[in-house]
Chain A
């Protein structure tokens, strides 16, 4: 790997001053050359390795972390989670994988981001933090693979995209289906014109999360910071007293302070695939409305995204319809099309592993090229989900200007494009 500018001048970062002592300890850590540093048979030597920190080590974080660890040119050096149980389990996973005890743990992501020995981070926090941590990681000079959905509001992901652009960072959103065979092939059929002019693109929303939740829970005794760091868990969301139920996934996943519920949960994948299939990665629909239980996003050329349930082939299915044919696929790997000849007897494995997507990210970290799920692309697709949610919450159609990124003639809808961050966090 060619010698590049060091990221070690992290002391210039705004948050480093707040934790200078911690940074000093980390920076002065032991410099023991381990066998891992020298490179085993199937691993790149340390000089050619991308050092990774993991922020957010719940189930999904540990799964994607596994995909990072499987890459021969990656060393996971530190993990961070505000919940001790998850943090310690992740360290155990890393240490077992490398056969040592070297993985550092952090409660505070600012400490991890301040480490000069980290090149890139995997961000797998709750949705509420995705944008905020991405921006802080960029300010700390890190490249990042950030789990989906990219944001809770339109303004957040716009800020992430702008930040990546002005600080030259590499960002890959965890929309890994862009790197999985059956979805890639389906998108190829649509993008290459083999389905004819596209008319309707169907995107499945997650089941069970359709109803928004804005509940404020009664106070419970707040655990010690070392057990659950409540302040850090809340992050940019406005303060409220501690209650353990907040951080259980089934609760926050449709709470309007922390997530975009069913439409962003799967739409971040399925709507994203529709945007890709429509070659609309740099724009978006112009009209949003509801037909029964279906949320329609209509483009200026008449093409529609239909956000719905009931498609075939497992989780996160999509269906692309054109004037000359259609294709439908999902996480089972099964795929159907009309005419059948489009498939040419292709078969695909099921599942939705992030491995190919992680590999593509790492290659871009080395070449500085844009990733397939870069910040602007991910912002555009999650914006479609957010505007659909705004229309759903207001219970009326919304006209959207994808250039100005504003709702036309609807002040209330425009107010829902953003949320005020809790100080001191800012976009």
Chain B
């Protein structure tokens, strides 16, 4: 910051004396700094500016001097301020420099520029908050240059001196409607600055003037918002009066301010005023009280839940998500089961959100006494909340006579069930009274097995000895979900079961096995003379090969798979899988199939996929890729494949 003496000195300076001043400033810089600069980065870039370099080099010099420039570089940068192409770059360098001398240079350049250069200089004066520039910026407010006027107003706002704000206010009074807004925004910006500088009393009259009726809505909103910070003591009365008024925009802004400001004593004051407001005012204030997260507002909000106006009621129910406690559970439970879907949905969301173990306990208590229609919802709520009571309550209700309750309990067991619940779920499958319950129980057991793995497996495997084929199949699926070596052995063993339906189900389970440890078993199946075993075994084997991330291992699996294919469709699958292995080995494997009329187009597509990637490596790989693509274009008869090959070739070239 400059001293007042420095400011007045700069204002009075004439451009003719500027150079002398700069030179003097340089001499006054500590000697070490000047000498250090001679061999410095700065000296290098300064030389660029001093020489006959072109735009390219000079803009780069400006970028570098922006960071390292000292007062030594100021004359050269100042000279560029009037340059049409480099003026912006000169400002880029100068704008953040901490030297007071920069301001004098800008003053001088302002008088020697017009248009974009002049506008840019004004903008930079504003960014630098150069108070000494106010007197030379103010006349520019009446300029005919449409870009310059808002820039000048913006600069005066940023400078934020009493003089600059007075000038903006006077301009606002005489300006056309079109030109008024920049002045108003400048005044708001200045007030904002004063508030940040703890000069709220200085800002308040400016903001009150902008808040007056007739000003644009957003200017009034901004003034209203800032006024609360400028005069915090007066804010509560002003905010409550606004909440009682009929200006919807200001009312919502008042609510926002209330939600953002601190102070427990204020909460009580606002809450007490709630019943005195209109429905719109109450809804806004309830939202604001929720935002304050102060339990002191709880009683008032609970009362607002009973409000006849739906907007107030909904706002209050929603507010309980942050302000509520266990005492609210009973009431919210009733609302959750009401006929009004908006109210019910909001109450449900609130019950899911209120924090605290006592709330979990209250929901559990309500569950015990609730009718079946409500129990299912409360079980789901306990699950959503991950309440510690959720699992025991689910266990208690999983065999309920009410279908929605049973299914809710099974949803919980699917998510939270442990190995200790395995037998219970097997029983639920066996005893399920309807298809929906059975499906939910099977899903729950599968999820439990996927989560618990070997811990749950013995119980499931033991139960597979039961007589009911549908239950055995469900348990077999659960074994598949469990995964791992024991589960795989169980499924393989099931291929030898006496029941053909069960054997086929085991075959499908094995064919879908997600991990590579099933490859040997699938390979055995693929070699089978039995059609279904061969088809499903080979399909699973190809799938595992395709998913393999080890290039060498993948190639072996694919080569093996190709050797077991019997039908063209099976070859297509293997060829497509080769296309996912982007190596030269793939090309070696694929190219011979271009001679096979039944699969040449599929081989061609795979080759295109491999070659396009291989070519990126350049050198021999690129040569091989090009040759392969040419072979595809020559051998294939599917026009799309040929076109893709040619396009890939063009891309490589």
Give the B-binding residues of A (Cβ under 8 A).
2-7, 9, 11-18, 138-139, 141, 155, 162, 165-169, 192, 214, 216, 238-240, 344-346, 367-370, 411-412, 414-424, 426-427
Contact = CB atoms under 8 A, between A and B. Distances in A.
Contact of B119 (A15, A18, A344, A423): A423
Given A6-B217, A344-B416, A369-B252, 16 more contacts: A4-B249, A13-B181, A17-B178, A139-B181, A141-B218, A166-B185, A166-B189, A167-B185, A370-B256, A415-B66, A418-B95, A424-B116, A424-B123, A424-B147, A424-B150, A426-B155
A344 B123 CA distance: 56
Contact of B117 (A3, A18, A423): A423
Nearest to B93: A420
Nearest to B418: A345
- The 3 nearest A-B residue pairs measured at CB: A168-B221, A423-B120, A368-B252
Nearest to A15: B150
Interface size class of B (residues with CB under 8 A): 35 or more
Contact of B151 (A16, A214, A423): A423
A216 B56 contact: yes
Contacts of A238: 59, 88-89, 92
Interface string B56-82: 100110010011100000000000000
A23 B219 CA distance: 22
A28 B564 CA distance: 73
B13 interface: no
Contacts of B120: 420, 422-424
Nearest to A343: B386
Contact of B280 (A2, A369, A423): A2
A82 B415 CA distance: 50
Contacts of A420: 88, 91-92, 94-96, 120, 123-124, 127
B620 interface: no
Contact of A368 (B68, B119, B255): B255
Interface in B81-119: 85, 88-89, 91-92, 94-98, 116-117, 119
Nearest to A6: B217
A16 B85 CA distance: 27
B182 A412 contact: no
B126 interface: yes
A344 B386 contact: yes
Given A2-B248, A165-B225, A367-B252, A239 B192 contact: no
Contact of A168 (B154, B181, B222): B222
B231 to A, nearest CB: 16
B609 interface: no
B146 interface: yes
Given A420-B88, A422-B120, A169 B218 contact: yes
Interface in B267-316: 280, 287, 291
A166 B188 contact: yes
A240 B249 contact: no
B354 interface: no
22 contacts: A12-B178, A16-B178, A17-B179, A162-B189, A166-B191, A166-B222, A166-B225, A167-B218, A239-B88, A344-B416, A368-B253, A370-B259, A370-B260, A412-B68, A414-B98, A417-B96, A420-B95, A420-B120, A421-B123, A423-B117, A423-B147, A423-B151
B168 to A, nearest CB: 14
A166 B185 CA distance: 8
A423 B95 CA distance: 13
A17 to B, nearest CB: 5
A369 B88 contact: no
Interface in B239-275: 247-249, 252-253, 255-256, 259-260
A17 B180 CA distance: 12
Interface in B486-514: none
A6 B59 CA distance: 45
Contacts of A417: 96
B188 A167 contact: yes
Interface string B426-443: 000000000000000000
Contacts of B182: 14
B301 to A, nearest CB: 16
B451 interface: yes
A5 B59 CA distance: 47
Nearest to A13: B181
Given A167-B185, A238-B92, A369-B291, A345 B154 contact: no
Contacts of A345: 415-416, 451
A186 to B, nearest CB: 15
B178 to A, nearest CB: 5
B568 interface: no
Given A12-B216, A426-B154, A168 B253 contact: yes
Contacts of A169: 218
A168 B386 contact: no
Nearest to B96: A415
Interface in B162-192: 177-182, 185, 188-189, 191-192
B222 A165 contact: yes
Contacts of B574: none
B225 A168 contact: yes
A15 B124 CA distance: 20
Contacts of A138: 218
Given A166-B188, A345-B416, A423-B116, A11 B256 contact: no
Contact of A422 (B88, B149, B252, B255): B88
B217 A141 contact: yes
Contacts of A367: 252, 255, 287
Report which residue of A11, A14, A417 has the largest number of chain B beta carbons within 10 angstroms of its beta carbon: A14
Contacts of A16: 178
A416 B451 CA distance: 52
Given A12-B178, A426-B123, A418 B96 contact: yes
Interface in B442-476: 451
